[in-house]
A = this chain, B = another copy of it.
Amino acid sequence: MNCKLKDCTVLKNSTNVFLDYIDRHKYCMDYSPNQTIIFEGAKIDGVYVINDGIAKMVVKGHRGRPLIIRLLKKGEIIGHSADNKSRQPATITAVEPVSVCFWEKADFEKCIHSSKEIRNEVMATLKQEVKNMSDRSMRLVQMSVREKVADALLMIADAYQIKDDGLLHRIALSRQEISEMIGTSKAQTSKILQEFKAEGLLDIRPKTLAFFSFAKLRAIAG
């Protein structure tokens, strides 16, 4: 597997010296849909960067129900943690076939400590992710299910890099999983998706999705 290091979000501003060092110490791995890359509660052994594909970040939510808090796409970093004591806060599972780059903890920390540039980049990324996540979940608290489905669809479009040009895309993400992004049932999600289809916002069939108007979806999501 050929990792495109420069595509990794955290490394896009790094100098070649560090890219070279990192390059020599990485491992690459592939995961099929439904395979789990990281288990919630596991010891943190290193850092993963998604090289290609889509993964979901799942936590145990209210009364143990699964809750998908993010979709991860190419370039996103996972498995990091500023302190050494904590454990993986979420399960990461492939949705579409995923290839990742992996660095052992020791190597990654060597980079962190040797380059202020990388350290700042990583910290900024962390903070941005946390802010995005809490902004989103805050907003969800006040939204109707219909609004939340629209919101989830925009997240999906972003993760899959789908434009609102009506082009059909294959996605393995199920109704059940969309429901787990917004805390509702798959039946409810299905009904609302059909509404959106009837309103001409999108085309959706099993494993296939196309968008016609992000503007209207955004208006619904608020």
Q: Which residues in A have some Cβ–Cβ distance to B below 8 Å?
A: 59, 61-63, 65, 67, 69, 82-83, 89, 123-124, 127, 130-131, 133-134, 137-143, 147, 182-183, 222
Whole-angstrom distance between the Cβ of A83 and the nearest chain B Cβ: 8
A83 to B127, CA, bound (A): 10
Whole-angstrom distance between the Cβ of A90 and the nearest chain B Cβ: 10
Whole-angstrom distance between the Cβ of A137 and the nearest chain B Cβ: 4
| Contact assessment for B134 and A61 in the assembled complex, using a CB-CB cutoff below 8 Å | no
| Contact assessment for B137 and A130 in the assembled complex, using a CB-CB cutoff below 8 Å | no
A130 touching B134 in the complex, CB below 8 Å, given contacts A63-B222, A123-B82:
yes
Nearest B residue to A89 via CB reads: B131
Nearest B residue to A182 via CB reads: B141
| Contact assessment for B82 and A141 in the assembled complex, using a CB-CB cutoff below 8 Å | no
Whole-angstrom distance between the Cβ of A220 and the nearest chain B Cβ: 11
| Contact assessment for A138 and B67 in the assembled complex, using a CB-CB cutoff below 8 Å | yes
User: B82, B89, B127, B134: which contacts A137 (Cβ < 8 A)?
Assistant: B134
Q: Which residues of B contact A141 (CB under 8 A)?
A: 61-62, 67, 137, 140-141, 182-183
Q: Which residues of B contact A140 (CB under 8 A)?
A: 137, 140-141
A82 to B130, CA, bound (A): 13
Nearest B residue to A124 via CB reads: B83
User: B89, B127, B147, B183: which contacts A142 (Cβ < 8 A)?
Assistant: B183
Whole-angstrom distance between the Cβ of A96 and the nearest chain B Cβ: 24
A141 to B143, CA, bound (A): 9
Q: Which residues of B contact A143 (CB under 8 A)?
A: 62
A142 touching B82 in the complex, CB below 8 Å, given contacts A130-B130, A133-B134:
no
Between-chain CB contacts (< 8 Å), 20 pairs: A61-B138, A62-B139, A62-B222, A63-B142, A63-B222, A65-B142, A67-B138, A67-B141, A82-B123, A83-B127, A130-B130, A130-B134, A133-B134, A134-B137, A137-B137, A137-B140, A137-B141, A140-B140, A140-B141, A141-B183
Q: Which residues of B contact A67 (CB under 8 A)?
A: 138, 141-142
